[in-house]
A and B are shown apart, each in its own frame.
Chain A
């Protein structure tokens, strides 16, 4: 699986939007971009995934660059419950998830 690069940590003020970046310059045409987050003392939680087009769901939005070499997870209004480690993962058909170190998001009240 191709590698992803994320900042180690980010901070955001509560109720403001958060943009979490992910670089994946070696992405292949069949790699899906998945985002998971892990809250303290819990297992990872699915957030969103996409292939080429931008995606929206009730939790977040995923913006994928036109060349697919980067993507951004957007939390529209950060809450204290969004404080977690966010993982950006590339996954090909038949392969398992390989988690990187992720981005630790701190939400400031």
Chain B
């Protein structure tokens, strides 16, 4: 079956602009999580959506937001981009039901965002 698809793969934006990234989870997966990866901070959790509702949120400013659609596809938005937002943004999907600690996540290949 198809894996987690993230689009676009690469993106260059200017400071102050906003950006929207997209994630299509594995068919049947209802949970979508987003992570930011930078060389300095490593992998950091942004937020998780399950059945169109935000279920968990990491410690990021309000400029970072997301949403999930009825087909489980998710988007994340970053407004007023800063140079420090340059990172690899990863999306992960999972079944989302039952005991979350007992199942794995499938990650996409990420969107590489560069802010200039």
Binding site for B on A (CB under 8 A): 30-32, 34, 41-46, 49, 51, 87, 91-102
Whether B101 pairs with A46 at a CB distance below 8 angstroms is no
CA distance A42 to B108 in the complex (A): 8
Number of chain B interface residues as a range: 20 to 34
**What is the CB-to-nearest-CB distance from B17 to chain A, in angstroms, rounded to a whole number?**
25
Query: 1/0 per position for B50-61, CB-CB distance to A under 8 A?
Result: 000000101000
Of the listed stretches B40-48, B68-76, B77-85, name the one at the interface; the rest are far from the partner chain. Answer: B40-48
Q: Tell me which residues across on chain B come within 8 A of A31, comparing CB atoms.
A: 101
CA distance A91 to B42 in the complex (A): 18
Nearest 5 pairs between A and B by C-beta? A43-B107, A46-B104, A99-B43, A32-B101, A96-B45
Whether A45 pairs with B107 at a CB distance below 8 angstroms is yes
Whether A96 pairs with B48 at a CB distance below 8 angstroms is yes
CA distance A102 to B43 in the complex (A): 10
- Residue of A43, A96, A100, A102 touching B90 (CB-CB under 8 A): A43
Residue of A with least CB distance to B57:
A96
Query: 1/0 per position for B24-51, CB-CB distance to A under 8 A?
Result: 0000000001010000001111001000
